[in-house]
Amino acid sequence: MTDKYCVIGNPIAHSKSPEIHPVYAAQTGQDLVYERCLAPLDGFEATVQRLVAEGYRGANVTLPFKLEAARVCTRLEERARAAGAVNTLSFANGEIVGDNTDGPGLVADITRNAGVSIQGKRVLLLGAGGAARGALLPLIQQGPREIVIANRTVATAEGLAQDFGRYGIPITASGFADVEGSFDIVINATAGSIAGDVPPVAPGVFGPDALALDMMYGNQPTVFMEFAARHGAGVRDGLGMLVEQAAEAFAIWRGVRPDTSTVMKKMRP
């Protein structure tokens, strides 16, 4: 019997997930279908319950439901608890289990695809919203020397630094304009690139041989990538993170990890 999965969001027509998972299924010999599911803005929980009743095995969750997804779960994995958000749901044995694969996808893209080690590095995380929160625990688990969270509202960054300080890595908060020193890895976790805005940090944040990654992606480099490249950084957008987080979700559901290079070549020849 073919297993059913989907991605839930509103809007949802733009999602690339239905292009990714069938490739992984063919590659690993898994019998499944993967669809888009448009949920009403006030009907996410009802949509999840309908999917469970219809025999779906799991679902990905995209905007604007990642926070609400955490609340409908009967159990949360540690990454989801830390993030306070869920992007991967598994339905089995009467449970709705929530996980967050965004951070692992980011880490995999940096370490595997870009070939950059995070261990011992100084990392600057721009933004303190849900995307930043989802990235922090997987980044911490790589053993960086220090993480600085910069945000327009410093108090929000300070709250995030306090929440994740218990994991043993030095984490400090700053305003964008007050960031001090240079960094090995700079991650833009704001949504500024959608509107053509670059976080107002000094060009000096990009250290020698720095990697700058924007979680946003598109057909052209983002404004953040252009800014970072002008100041000597190597740049990446969020497509690799998308492909890798999908592979992590696929492994959770199917117990086998697909090769992401095939999908990366397909989506960006």
Told to judge if 266 belongs to the known catalytic residues of this protein, a careful annotator would answer: no
Q: Do the beta carbons of residue 182 and residue 207 sit within 8 Å?
A: yes
Half-sphere exposure of 234 (CA within 13 A, CB side): 11
Q: Annotated binding residue at 127?
A: yes
Q: Annotated binding residue at 17?
A: yes
**Per annotation, catalytic residue among 66, 121, 265, 266:** 66
Q: Annotated binding residue at 129?
A: yes
Q: Annotated binding residue at 238?
A: yes
Q: Annotated binding residue at 215?
A: yes
Q: Annotated binding residue at 222?
A: no
Q: Annotated binding residue at 102?
A: yes
Q: Annotated binding residue at 130?
A: yes
Residue with tokens 């993480």: 147
Q: Annotated binding residue at 265?
A: no
Tokens at 94, concatenated: 């009467």
Q: Annotated binding residue at 167?
A: no
Q: Annotated binding residue at 245?
A: yes
Q: Annotated binding residue at 49?
A: no
Annotated binding site: 15-17, 62, 78, 87, 102, 127-131, 215, 217, 238, 245
Annotated binding site for NADP(+): 78, 127-131, 215, 238
Q: Which residues are catalytic?
A: 66
Annotated binding site for shikimate: 15-17, 62, 87, 102, 217, 245
